[in-house]
Amino acid sequence: MELLDVSADKKIMMSNSITSGRFDVTACQLDILFMLLSSLEKNDAVDKEYIISALDIEALTKKKWNYQQLRKSTEDFGSRMFEIEDEKSLKQIWLWSKVEYYHNTGAFGVLINPIARQYFFELKDNFTSLQLKSVLNCTSKYAKRLYSIACQYRNMKFNPMPLDEFKKMLGLIDKNGKDTYENATALKKNVLDVAKKQINENTDIRFDYKLTKVRSRSYNTIHLYIDSLKPEQLKLFASDVPNFEINPEMQRRIKHIEASGLSPEIAQLWALKYYKEFVAEKNNLLEGIANKKITLTKDIPSYLRGVFNKKGWV
């Protein structure tokens, strides 16, 4: 049995599919995942067993672990499903094929599920670089997840996303649609503010957020502010949402929608939640007009708003 040689300053690489995947695990289970990531080598054999020591994690985090805590964490982790969605499909995978404890050592071995192996090794450019010490020093599971997400979007500074999708990523909305933190005040207090404090105190990332209502009576959008600068250098949320420094792809989408004559408010909402649907409906409309299958009785923006209203998208 060979223990890992782990440096506190080590950088780890995490597949963006896992970073942005939908799963709900404990802080302890995330530490196990990050310790495993720190031990991967490019030419590792498919059947290699990775040995993780509780002493290593204690040395890095200054937190005391015990055998029962580890065993419970790996037992639950083994049954946890990760959901990874792309344009083609929604995959449900399990990361480990085996966990083996070694008596009187404080260590256990992990075998990676062959099906999940691509998300550990075949990263190419699709990965997030994290600082191991930073993520281990965060005690909240939400801080650990948000730190990894923040690292993925490190260069975007402002990153808006639908609030329900954000909650699914963190496991706050389960597969049955139950929302653990439907109340925005509770979400801020128990998840976002705790994560913000820990990330800003323990990591190389400066993090903030803002919840907004985009054509809605309730909060439906979250804006993440991410930077590597010191807190005093940040000018957070100095203006309203439409003036935020949104990432280039989102800016392109908004301009595309506004070019059709729609308002900035509608353009931002559709760019966030319905861009594919907008493109499809606009193309259908233009094709229908060209083929004389559609005769407009109103202007194009009004027509598109009517289509979206009928489908319940707005």
pLDDT band at 293 (very low <50, low <70, confident <90, very high): confident
In a domain, 292, yes or no: yes
Average pLDDT of the segment spanning 279-303? 75
Instruction: Note whether 9 and 119 are same-domain residues.
Output: yes
> Which one of 112, 137, 162 terminates a domain?
137
Q: Which CATH number covers residue 154?
A: 1.10.10.10
Q: Which structural domain, as residue segments, surrounds residue 45?
A: 1-137
pLDDT tens digits along 178-189: 898 989 999 999
Q: Is the alpha carbon torsion for 13, 7, 27, 1 positive or negative?
A: positive
> Which one of 111, 137, 163 terminates a domain?
137
> Which one of 117, 137, 157 terminates a domain?
137
Examine the pLDDT at 18 and tell me if it is beyond 60.
yes
Q: What 3-state DSSP class applies to 130?
A: strand
Token representation of residue 223: 């804006």
pLDDT tens digits along 123-147: 545 556 777 778 888 889 999 989 8
Token representation of residue 285: 């409309």
pLDDT at 9: 56
Instruction: Note whether 261 and 275 are same-domain residues.
Output: yes
Instruction: Note whether 129 and 143 are same-domain residues.
Output: no
pLDDT tens digits along 45-82: 888 888 888 777 777 666 777 677 777 777 777 667 77
Q: What percent of the chain has pLDDT over 90?
A: 7
Token representation of residue 228: 């590597």
pLDDT at 186: 95
pLDDT at 197: 92
Q: How many domains does the chain have?
A: 3
**What value does the mean pLDDT of the chain take?**
76
pLDDT at 183: 92
Distance (Å, whole) CA 66 – CA 47: 27
Instruction: Note whether 263 and 298 are same-domain residues.
Output: yes
Residue 197 Cα distances to 28, 143, 166, 169, 192, angstroms: 19, 9, 19, 20, 9
In a domain, 241, yes or no: no
Instruction: Note whether 203 and 157 are same-domain residues.
Output: yes
